[in-house]
Amino acid sequence: MSTLATAEASPRQATPPDPEPAGDPEPAQAAVWIDHESAILVQPTGPGSPRVTVVDRGPHEGEAAFGARAAHEIGDRGRVLVTGPLAARTAFEREYVALTHRPDRIVDVEPERIAPGESLTADPS
């Protein structure tokens, strides 16, 4: 006669579990102004004013290291609007993509394309 192993039944839940969210929520957006001396990072914090962080380039810090430091400060975001001089934008974007592997999240904006008084973090919808 063979013996079958039986697994213990799990206890029933008194309340149904919360429904699973449909996929991961998209990370928040951010805006970056970067030049060869500093980066200004604007990140939403929920209701109210966004968090503004200034990252200054060190006196002996290379372009790539500075871009990487700014990219780490921003982290993984749903969309990152990047503006500033071309060389600085490009260096930041390379470091951001190396960090997140998501080039599709970068929105590159030439500085003259931003209208005076336009919000960099306004919801486009």
Whether pLDDT at 20 is above 50: no
**Domains (ranges, CATH) in the chain?**
29-110 (3.30.420.60)
- Which residue has tokens 């993984």? 76
Q: Model confidence over 46-59: pLDDT tens digits? A: 777 888 999 999 99
pTM for the structure as a whole: 0.66
DSSP single-letter state for residue 104: G
In angstroms, the CA 64 to CA 24 distance is: 31
- The residues that bridge with 107 in the sheet, in sequence order, are 81
What residue spans of the chain are helical by DSSP H? 63-74, 86-100
Q: Model confidence over 72-104: pLDDT tens digits? A: 999 888 899 999 998 889 999 999 999 999 999
pLDDT of residue 53: 93
Q: Quick one: which of 78, 68, 88, 66 has its CA closest to 30?
A: 78
- The residues that bridge with 28 in the sheet, in sequence order, are none
- The residues that bridge with 82 in the sheet, in sequence order, are 32, 108
Joined tokens for residue 97: 């993509």
**Model confidence at 109, in pLDDT bands (50, 70, 90)?**
confident
